[in-house]
Structure 1
Amino acid sequence: MNIKKIRKSIGIILVAMGSSFVTNAQGIEFEHDLDSALAKAKAENKIVFVDFYTSWCAPCKTLAQEVFPVEKVGTFFNKQFINCKVQCDDKGKGVKLGEKYQINAYPTLMFMDKNGELIHSAAGGTSPEGLIELAKIALSPDKNLLSLIKEWNSGNREDEFVRKYFRSLKSAYRTEKANADFETYFNNLKKEEKARKNIFDLANFIKVTPFTPVFNYIEDNKKDYYTTVGQSEIDKYIADSYLWYLKGMIRKETRKEYEVAKVKFKAKKYPYYEEYAMFFSAFEVQDSTGDYNVKEYMKRGTAFLDKYGKNDDSYTLALTALLGNCTGRRDAGIDGIKWMEDLLARNRNPEYLDTYFYILWRNFHFEKALEVGDEIRNNLVRENKSTKRIDSQITMITDYRDKLAKKEADNKAKEISTSN
């Protein structure tokens, strides 16, 4: 045994480990218990930065791997904040904290005071520079969400500020507060003010849902909005709102509420009820456990698209996306491939290619999926946009295809060996 070589190898390992430790130290240093982070914030008189994340969230992983470890990010955050990570799908304390702070999207990047009260918040991934800019807004008493809430509570209702306020709440995914405050604001407007286009645009932006007071008012007084907004836009707004609101309720958690809402919708006697009901019927094959009867889903989806598919491209995209989630074996959801190819034959919108790409590889049509992946990548290059996401997906599919091929070859070799 060569002792010198062993010592040299150990030295290389230690250097590598040391480098790893230094790299980690350069990034954000996180606590993993919010109570401890708040106690530390009180002791040091600092704001708390919290990364609310889940184990399955891709943007969360990108932040953890490519943003939080960056030296300039760590230098800024470790000086200004007490930092904490909260996993919202840990089936324990993290889930309860997610509910307490009304976390509706991941990642949610929240800044709170030492008492755990909201100062500022935003949802979604970002770059190192974007994260630092977000932190600077949180530190600014004139720009953060808390300052906007205080100004709103003081009574500022100027149009420009109102738009800014609700856009900030929506970007922070403070959905419940946005809806509640908008309803109060709307109810205090005069009848002629409610019909203004900018008020309708705000209601549309906030996504007030059917069967709520604001939506009911717009629906009941749609002729007032025909004058200020336009009949076709208002009618489409009402129709689309019912379509996607009811479709979103077809889940095991809200199935009873969906059935009640569907009856109310039918009673309104809109001419498109039968079309919508047939669309919903495909999703209604979900059982009480949340599982889908995939064969029946494809049967109903095909029948619906044959009859109504050309009315709205979103029908095909929605049906195919869910089918992709429910499959994961060779040709298990092959109808979805035909759905997408029929759609693309009449409208090869580049935005539709992601869904086509997804249903292809989920059915193990790897070669065709890789062709579509290259098309997506080429489109991004032409638009001077990042190809990082599609590149990683192409690599993932290539690796998966090769591993599956090897596994199948090994199994075939075993079968031949056994038969001999």
Structure 2
Amino acid sequence: MGHSGWSQGIVFHTNLEESLKEAKQQKKLVFVDFYTSWCGPCKALSANVFPQQIVGDFYNEKFISVKIQCDDSGYGVALGKQYKVAAYPTLMFLDGNGDIVHSTAGAPDAQGLIELGKTALDPQKNQLSLLKEWDSGNREEAFMRKYFSSLMRAYQNAKAHDDFEQYFATLSKAEKASSFTFELMQTVKELPFSPAFDYLEQNKADYYQTVGKGKVDSTIAKSYLWYLKNLQYGGMMNKDLTEFNTKLAQFKAKNYPYYDEYVAFYDVFDFKNSDNKSDAEIFMTKGTAFLAKYGLNNDDYTISLTMMLANLIWGKDKGVAGIEWMERLVDRNPDVRYLDSYFHILFRNLRWDQALEVAQRIKEEQIKQNRSTKDIDQKIQSIADARLKYGG
């Protein structure tokens, strides 16, 4: 490989097999960018980060780099499945045999991408080293925290679940109910109907002693709420709600006091009109009625409904109900985390002045916390762009 392309940033290939051969000969790792045509952060990486000379200088020297499109006609789709890619972009480092050495999901900046490469190259820090340590039997608490967090960050959820379940099965009754094991359950996001979750439900009294009743009960309640919600969403996408309905029936049989509340929440997302078309008006009417009854129980109800409505509408005051939902929430609980959804619904309603005010509040907060304002600056710019395009 000549040096001619170096000033343009990372030189990418498109054939993984050839790149693995080359990597073996050169004793290098292969860096793979798994992306899709529709993924925004993927496009940002390709436009703003990969072309930087500082990035190219590092990656072209240390790695053979490959781009794999996971929504192409087949080659990339198959590779995405083979490597169990579950989020985009996934940035993966492979050895010459094609085995994973390190992996993460998300779009870092130039410095972050270089740090990621350094971690992948460091046999003391990369995922492969954690994996070897796990396989050799290290079960120290500090190590396990690191191991499972690393898998979850890389969206290797299936591996995290499998390894956790195998570990859980080896524990004594006291160890299972320890606050550390409970913490690991949260890290790997143990789902309802899994063996460890079933055990937690059947032995709640033991966990009440170590973790506290409030925390245990709210963890169980929350887990069911979002587990079933995701099943409903997936079922609607695939036009098959069989699994959702089956699990909902199993959930009902457990006689939790919040069953009716959850069913009412899921029902809001069934907003087809008589022609079987999605209807934002029906969604708003149902959503407003639901929040009037249950909105105070869980702030996430408001966020979830608002974000759904934002996807359904675009135009001057087309989804005012969502603005009202968010105003009530922010009045009640001015948590800065909620401002993002508030901005989003204002933007989708073409309420530029209000959206700008909220964006400025987010920016002030980020400056106070010494965090990057890159994302919110882009949103502020998007208001200016939209004003030019749509007026107002």
Q: Which residue of 2 aligns with 1:48?
A: 30
Q: Which residue of 2 aligns with 1:259?
A: 245
Paired letter, 2:336: P
Secondary structure in 1 matching 2:92: strand
Paired letter, 1:187: A
Q: Which residue of 2 aligns with 1:389?
A: 375
Cα 1:229–1:286 change in 2 (3 A) is: farther
After TM superposition, which residue ranges in structure 1, 4 or more long, deviate above 4 angstroms?
21-24
Secondary structure in 2 matching 1:249: helix
Cα deviation, residue 73, structure 1: 1.7
Q: Which digits, 9 at most, give the CA deviation of each residue in 1:273-304, with x for residues without a partner?
A: 111111111123379xx973322221211110
**Structure 2: distance between partners of 1:118 and 1:22:** 29
Paired letter, 1:116: G
Q: Which residue of 2 aligns with 1:14?
A: none
Q: Which residue of 2 aligns with 1:316?
A: 302
Among 120, 124, 127, the alignment partner of 2:109 is: 127
Cα 1:55–1:286 change in 2 (3 A) is: farther
Does 2:83 align with 1:96? no
Q: CA RMSD in A?
A: 2.1
Among 317, 320, 323, the alignment partner of 1:337 is: 323
Contact 2:10 2:57 in 1 (8 A): yes
**Structure 2: distance between partners of 1:221 and 1:65:** 52
Aligned length: 384
Contact 1:24 1:69 in 2 (8 A): no
Q: Which digits, 9 at most, give the CA deviation of each residue in 1:120-161, with x for residues without a partner?
A: 111112232222222122112232111221221122222222
Paired letter, 1:306: A
Q: Which residue of 2 aligns with 1:276?
A: 262
Cα deviation, residue 26, structure 1: 4.1
Paired letter, 2:370: N
Contact 1:23 1:69 in 2 (8 A): no
Q: Map of 1:106-121 to 2, 5 A cutoff? A: 106-121=88-103
Cα 1:245–1:152 change in 2 (3 A) is: same
Secondary structure in 2 matching 1:203: helix
Q: Which digits, 9 at most, give the CA deviation of each residue in 1:215-253, with x for residues without a partner?
A: 000011010000011011100110010011111111223
Among 266, 276, 283, the alignment partner of 1:297 is: 283
TM-score (norm 1): 0.86
Moved more, 204-213 or 343-352: 343-352
Secondary structure in 2 matching 1:49: strand
Does 2:343 align with 1:369? no
Q: Which residue of 1 aligns with 2:126?
A: 144
Q: Map of 1:9-28 to 2, 5 A cutoff? A: 25-28=7-10
Q: Which digits, 9 at most, give the CA deviation of each residue in 1:99-125, with x for residues without a partner?
A: 221111222110001222111111112
Does 2:200 align with 1:218? yes
Paired letter, 2:96: K
Contact 1:250 1:284 in 2 (8 A): no
Contact 2:191 2:197 in 1 (8 A): yes
Cα 1:34–1:274 change in 2 (3 A) is: same
Secondary structure in 2 matching 1:335: helix
Moved more, 335-344 or 394-403: 394-403
Q: Which residue of 1 aligns with 2:292?
A: 306
Q: Which digits, 9 at most, give the CA deviation of each residue in 1:324-359, with x for residues without a partner?
A: 112122333221111111111212222111101101
Cα 1:235–1:399 change in 2 (3 A) is: same
Identity %: 50
**Structure 1: distance between partners of 2:295 and 2:332:** 11
Contact 2:88 2:106 in 1 (8 A): yes
Secondary structure in 2 matching 1:189: coil
Among 191, 194, 198, the alignment partner of 1:209 is: 191
Contact 2:225 2:262 in 1 (8 A): yes
Contact 2:6 2:57 in 1 (8 A): no
Contact 1:26 1:75 in 2 (8 A): no
Contact 1:42 1:114 in 2 (8 A): yes
Q: Which residue of 2 aligns with 1:234?
A: 216
Cα deviation, residue 312, structure 1: 1.1
TM-score (norm 2): 0.92
Structure 1: gaps of 5 or more residues: 1-20, 407-420
Does 2:155 align with 1:173? yes
Moved more, 25-34 or 297-306: 25-34
Name which one, 1 or 2, has greater alpha-carbon Rg: 1
Q: Which residue of 2 aligns with 1:5?
A: none
Moved more, 223-232 or 328-337: 328-337
Contact 1:47 1:82 in 2 (8 A): yes
Cα deviation, residue 91, structure 1: 4.5
Paired letter, 1:401: R
Q: Which residue of 1 aligns with 2:50?
A: 68
**Structure 2: distance between partners of 1:268 and 1:81:** 53
Does 2:170 align with 1:188? yes
Q: Which residue of 2 aligns with 1:414?
A: none
Q: Which residue of 2 aligns with 1:87?
A: 69
Contact 2:190 2:196 in 1 (8 A): yes
Q: Which residue of 2 aligns with 1:18?
A: none
Q: Which residue of 1 aligns with 2:313?
A: 327
**Structure 1: distance between partners of 2:222 and 2:300:** 11
Contact 1:178 1:206 in 2 (8 A): yes
**Structure 2: distance between partners of 1:240 and 1:310:** 15
Paired letter, 2:61: K
